[in-house]
Structure 1
Amino acid sequence: MQFENTRAFAKTMDARDPLKKYKDEFIFPRVNGKPVIYFTGNSLGLQPKRTRKYVDEVMKDWAELAVEGHFYAQKPWWDYQERFAGPLSRVVGAKPSEVTVMNTLTVNLHLLMVSFYRPTPKRYKILCEAKAFPSDQYMLQSQVKFHGFDPADAIVEVEKREGEHYIRTEDIMAKIEETGDELALVLIGGVNYYTGQVFDMKAITRAGHRTGALVGWDLAHAAGNIKLQLHDWEVDFAAWCSYKYMNSGPGNASGAFVHEKHHDNGDLPRFAGWWGHNKERRFLMEPGFDPVRGADGWQVSNLPVLSLAPYLASIEMFDEAGMDALIRKRNELTAYLEFILEQVDAGTDSKFEIITPRNPEERACQLSVFLHGQGKPLFDYLMKNGVITDWREPNVIRLAPVPFYCSFEDMYEFGQILKEGIN
């Protein structure tokens, strides 16, 4: 498509956008009396307007039914999480039995590693990307220490090449092959939080399995953002937060995936809890743990229904729009933002370097921009002028044009504000 850096062109693109109605479904903060241009859905999504209805429904049932709300609420609490199975499975490319919601992201990764990181004296290493999100680094370090291994030896990191900004797929494959029969687990973020790089999950999963390792994915920046086919790729397990692209609210409940090939494996250890027990017999209070078949069998505690309500409001919106439509708009919107950045860059003395892959297959809803010749004052200027973006050291801003609530005119207007901030 031939883009134009004009408001008229941006408005034309918005007018023909089949998802344009969804922008009015979200609540925008205001700066200087105007709704902001919001680029930080990769950290915390905006609040959908319908969220309040879902939360108020739970509050009303709690007030009027108290404990009886578990069984007699409009959406009974004891099986509230089951409403996610269909729509969430369509977002991540799974069977409904393979997904659940519970806990928070790092808690879920720890719990899943109880089942899927089973090191032996020979096969004990974990492969991850260098400079993974800090929570993943801390989790992996603590897991290998718990099993009596030295993180410096047991954690194998794949680095980007000198002078490059993201990791080559062939380097991940080579490291998997090099680690060989010492490799117990591959656990990588599906989308790198810093650069926005999308990893080839299908190829990496296959490579990990060829060596005899299990493969899991942290999908914090992937769920609701990219096309996932977790079942078909035969991913062993995955987990994701719900508060970034999935708009469920700060620190909210996590989603989890366990491939059906593991559902009937009675030898697979797990940390059990009441809510993972056979649903039909749960209230008999029997002493022996009989797990629910499927991912729900990895649940531990009674679900936090007040937290799940905003997530349900959002996931139903995803089901309405469909991931294919969201991805089509995401690709056009991200490409237009890239064009706007290049236009601004060409008209100034500053040099912006996009460190996110240029190939649309290797990126999603994020452009990370290295601000050569600029710094934190430019970020501060953007924030004061109604562009909510994200700063990462040493000199990078991350821009996430989320298709649900960002418009093409937002991209144009951002370019005008950015140009004023430089000049």
Structure 2
Amino acid sequence: MTTTLPYEDSEDFARRADAEDPLRTFRDAFLFPQAPDGKPVVYLAGNSLGLQPRNAARYVQEELEDWAKLGVEGHHQGRHPWLHYHELVTEQAARLVGAKPQEVVVMNTLTVNLHLMMVSFYRPTRGRFKILVEGGAFPSDQYAVASQARFHGYDPREAVLELKPRPGEETLRTEDILATLDQHGHEVALVLLGSVNYLTGQAFDLAAITRTAHSKGCLVGFDLAHGAGNLKLSLHDDGPDFAVWCSYKYLNGGPGSLGGVFVHERHSRSRDIPRFEGWWGHDKTTRFQMGPDFDPIPGAEGWQLSNPPILQLAALRASFELFDKAGMEALRAKSERLTGYLEFLLDKLPPAFVRITTPRDPKQRGAQLSLRFKGEAQGMLKRLSDAGIVCDFRKPDIIRAAPAPLYCNFTDVYRFVKTLEGHARG
């Protein structure tokens, strides 16, 4: 993208930036809901549910046709044989999260995968039983860690250690996270953080947290629900023990789409790690001998339980192909610029009307700004919807706006803020 700072508060600037955007054609690869006036909406809710890629329906239809024509033989004779179908997205998923293919598998859904990983990597002892999480983590993560603590016989009120911002602040400081590990690391069995907090939009320093946690003897996992397809990740180099993510947000896999798992290669052949076992994680060369003893596939695939849903994988394939063509480095560069433009325009609005609670540092955020509104935020969400702009609301007073770089553009951002401006003045 050749457009450089400073930004300009004008529609002409937004249109020029769009015309110079090297990723502009990817917008045409998605289907947009229609506003009341029949025009495509400004869609800033990709952090909740991504848009449908145009090829998703075709890819799903191909598998429906093979099912109709071939029946069970589709496992071996289909255009994309189902027996190995999940492998079509493995390398793409690995590139998305900065991992080796052996370290990644697409399977199940996020919280199922989180529980499977905690079976293996939360191994509490009398002296080291705590789980370190960010305060205000997504509720499903909170429920998962509390239930795992209870399963092992611990009171979550004692076993779950929450990180809190300093008084008067809304996000965590990296130095405070590391200081907590220095102070309490000897008690912590597992560090489990979201790579991006769903409410504040804060992105954490995964490498620094992993290094410090490992130096204190803790195992480390990350929830990438708001990180995968949003940030340029380097899981292999950063070195956490595991990570999990969903694919219906930034990854555009469709509602309830499959999740993903990363297990660092240092654990790939460890036979002493406990795990819940299923036949799809068994050695592929002997799987159909139906033997009584489980022989895990080396790497993340060894944590699979059952054969995957092909129709969901087909839809996800359509999105992963687009990510692969665009590349996360280029997407991240556009994302920083696009979110920066959103910040620039919002700063021109009266601070008494709206306040940004997401960190200002681009390294500490992805493609989301959380906005705290004076007055009734749900009413503002309705007014935005009536104007053909889709965001989402989180209690008590936050609207999250996420210009996903694969399909959002500068004109979208300009329209959104100018709509807010009209209400601020009204």
Using the TM superposition, give the Cα deviation of residue 302 of structure 1 relative to its aligned residue in structure 2, in angstroms.
Answer: 1.1
- What SS does the corresponding residue of 2:260 show, helix, strand or coil? strand
Residue in structure 2 matched with residue 292 of structure 1 by the alignment: 297
For residues 358 and 393 of structure 1, the distance between their equivalents in structure 2, rounded to whole angstroms, comes to: 22
Any conservation in 1 of the 2:377–2:393 contact (CA below 8 Å)?
Answer: no
Structure 1 counterpart of 2:198, from 173, 183, 193: 193
- Give the structure 2 partner of residue 124 of structure 1: 129
Aligned equivalent of 2:64:
59
Which of 147, 166, 171 lines up with 1:142 in the alignment? Answer: 147
Q: Per-residue CA shift, 1:147-172, capped at 9, x if unaligned?
A: 00010111000101111010111111
**Match for 1:158: what amino acid?**
L
- Report deviation, 1:227: 1.1
**Contiguous gaps of at least 5 residues in structure 2:** none
> In 2, are the aligned partners of 1:240 and 1:256 still within 8 Å (CA)?
yes
Q: SS in structure 2 opposite 1:187?
A: strand
Distance 2:418 2:267 in 1: 53
Alignment of 1:4-403 (within 5 A): 4-32=8-36, 33-345=38-350, 350-373=352-375, 375-403=377-405
Aligned with 2:235: secondary structure? coil
Amino acid at match of 2:130: K
TM-score in terms of structure 2 length: 0.97
Supply the distance in 2 between the matched residues of 1:125 and 1:42 (Cα, whole angstroms): 30
Equivalent position amino acid for 1:294 in 2: G
Taking every aligned residue pair, what percent have the same amino acid on both sides? 54
d(CA) in 1 for partners of 2:72, 2:87: 19
**TM-score of the superposed pair, with normalisation by structure 1:** 0.98
Q: 1:408 — aligned with what? A: 410
Tell me how far apart the structure 1 counterparts of residues 310 and 253 of structure 2 sit (CA, whole Å). Answer: 12
Instruction: For 1:71 and 1:113, locate their aligned partners in 2 and report how far apart those are by CA, in whole Å.
Output: 34
Cα 1:333–1:419 shift into 2, 3 Å? same
Measure the CA separation in 2 of the matches of 1:234 and 1:417.
44
Q: Distance in 2 between matches of 1:411 and 1:272?
A: 47
Counterpart of 2:56, as a letter, is T
Deviation at 1:343, TM superposition (A): 2.1
Q: Which amino acid aligns with 2:16?
A: T
Matched, 1:2 2:20: no
- The Cα shift of 1:373 comes to 4.4
Q: Secondary structure at the match of 2:191?
A: strand
Give me the whole-angstrom Cα distance separating, in 2, the residues matched to 1:136 and 1:40: 21
Letter in 2 for 1:383: S
Q: Distance in 1 between matches of 2:418 and 2:270?
A: 58
Aligned equivalents of 1:375 and 1:306: distance in 2?
38
Aligned to 1:417: 419
Shift of 1:374: 5.2
Deviation at 1:84, TM superposition (A): 1.5
CA distance in 2, matches of 1:279, 1:417: 55
- Is the 1:382–1:421 contact (alpha carbons within 8 Å) kept by the matching residues of 2? no
Secondary structure of residue in 2 paired with 1:31 = coil
> Shift of residue 351 of structure 1?
2.9
Distance 1:376 1:233 in 2: 39
Query: How big is the shift at 1:91?
Result: 0.7
SS in 1 for 2:269: coil
Equivalent AA in structure 1 for residue 412 of structure 2? D
One-letter identity of the residue aligned with 1:291: P
Number of aligned residue pairs: give it. 420
Structure 1, unaligned stretches of length 5 or more? none
Letter of the structure 2 residue corresponding to residue 139 of structure 1:
A
Contact 2:224 2:243 in 1 (8 A): yes
State the distance in 1 between where 2:159 and 2:349 align. Answer: 46
CA contact (8 A) 2:377 2:399 kept: no
Distance 1:217 1:375 in 2: 31
Deviations 1:246-283 (A, max 9, x none): 00000110010000000111101110001000101111
> Residue 250 of structure 2 contacts residue 404 of structure 2 at CA under 8 Å; is this kept in 1?
yes
| Distance in 2 (alpha carbons) for counterparts of 1:12 and 1:384 | 27
User: Quick one: distance in 1 between partners of 2:241 and 2:422?
Assistant: 49
Q: Deviations over 1:200-242 (max 9, x none)?
A: 0000011110110100000000000001110011110000000
How far the C-alpha of 1:420 sits from its partner, in A, is 2.1
CA-CA distance at 1:421 after TM superposition = 2.6
Equivalents in 2 of 1:5, 1:20: separation in Å?
20
Equivalent position amino acid for 2:333 in 1: R
Instruction: Show CA shifts across 1:102-159 (max 9, x none).
Output: 1100000000111101111111110000010000000000000000001011100010
Distance (Å, rounded) in 1 between the aligned partners of 2:190 and 2:412: 42
Give distance in 2, aligned partners of 1:85 and 1:323: 16
